[in-house]
Amino acid sequence: MEFEELRKKANLIRKDLIKMLLEAGSGHSAGPLGMADIFTALYFDILNHDPKNPAWEERDRLFLSNGHIVPIRYVTMAHAGYFPKAKLKTLRKLGSDLQGHPERVRMPALETTSGPLGSGLAQASGYAYAARMDNKRFRVFCICSDGEHDAGNHWEAVLFAAKNRLSNLTVFVDRNNIQIDGHTEDIMPLEPLEDKYKAFNWHTLHINGHNMEEIIDAVNHARAVYEKPTVIIAHTIPGKGVDFMENMPEWHGKPPDTAQAKEALHELRTLGGKIVGEHE
């Protein structure tokens, strides 16, 4: 896809996310909206994958450590053709494949069950290490939140990946500056985050997590790094596209009601002062 088409696709995905959260009556809003551009870039440009053959052995692996933002992954997977979009209405319903946190056994290509924050990078690092032992050529991607850097086991995985020079591993940090209790720098300051990763011998990149060109260029850059793992610190706006949700920690873990969803969908339809993403 061209960059403009990716941007339009991301906006459609945001709108379907709002509709899904409204139907569920529960779930997370801010983080998923903020990560819509990165997930769109991954599924429609970056990842080597096949929705018609989701268990394809040579597919790239995508690990989601901050599992509470999985609604945006579900919507993006539906748009990519992994399952019908109508299934999005079953989010968090009893017996649904689309649980509030991803469950690996529910559907192919979810790769891992996640919930406890701080665990995903260890899983991704172990998988990347095993892939290298088996001479596999696929790449391993991991998405984690900034808030879960409060967890010690995350930093153990950072050490492991660097020690083993896992250049087949690329990590996106969703640097949106909020967590469930407030702003990250008030709860447990993370800065200087880039310097910490550099000290642990990682290759580091900073991007605007809403700029398709920067997202894709950063991954291409990471593919050219052969001696160490790469972390892409993606600066995002939680609640991106919906003015009353943006940068508001209280929207970390709640869905919109009917009136709020209507307002959000209107804002997304006219994002940036123009009608966006009306072709689907």
Tell me if 50 is assigned to some domain: yes
The predicted-structure confidence for 8-67, as pLDDT tens digits, reads as follows 999 999 999 999 999 999 999 999 999 999 999 999 999 999 999 999 999 999 999 999
In a domain, 248, yes or no: yes
Radius of gyration over alpha carbons of the chain, in Å?
A: 18
Task: Answer whether residue 279 is part of any domain.
Answer: no
280 lies in a domain? no
Whole-angstrom Cα distance, residue 221 to residue 189? 28
Asked whether residue 278 is domain-assigned, the answer is no
- How many domains, the chain? 1
pLDDT above 80 (res 190): yes
pLDDT confidence band for 261 (50 / 70 / 90): very high
In a 10 Å sphere around its CB, with 0-12 CB exposed, 13-18 middle and 19+ buried, how is residue 7 labelled?
buried
Residue 158 counted as domain residue: yes
**Averaged pLDDT score across all residues of the chain:** 95
275 has pLDDT over 80: no
Q: What is the CATH number of the domain that holds 157?
A: 3.40.50.970
Q: Give the domain range for residue 56.
A: 3-273
| Residue 66 within any structural domain of the chain | yes
Q: Give the CA distances from residue 159 to residues 96, 145, 221, 229, 254, in Å, rounded to whole numbers and listed in that order.
A: 37, 18, 22, 11, 34
Q: What is the pLDDT of residues 104-157, one digit of tens each?
A: 999 888 999 987 899 999 999 999 999 999 999 999 999 999 999 999 999 999
Let me know if residue 229 belongs to a domain. yes
**d(C-alpha 138, C-alpha 4), whole Å:** 28
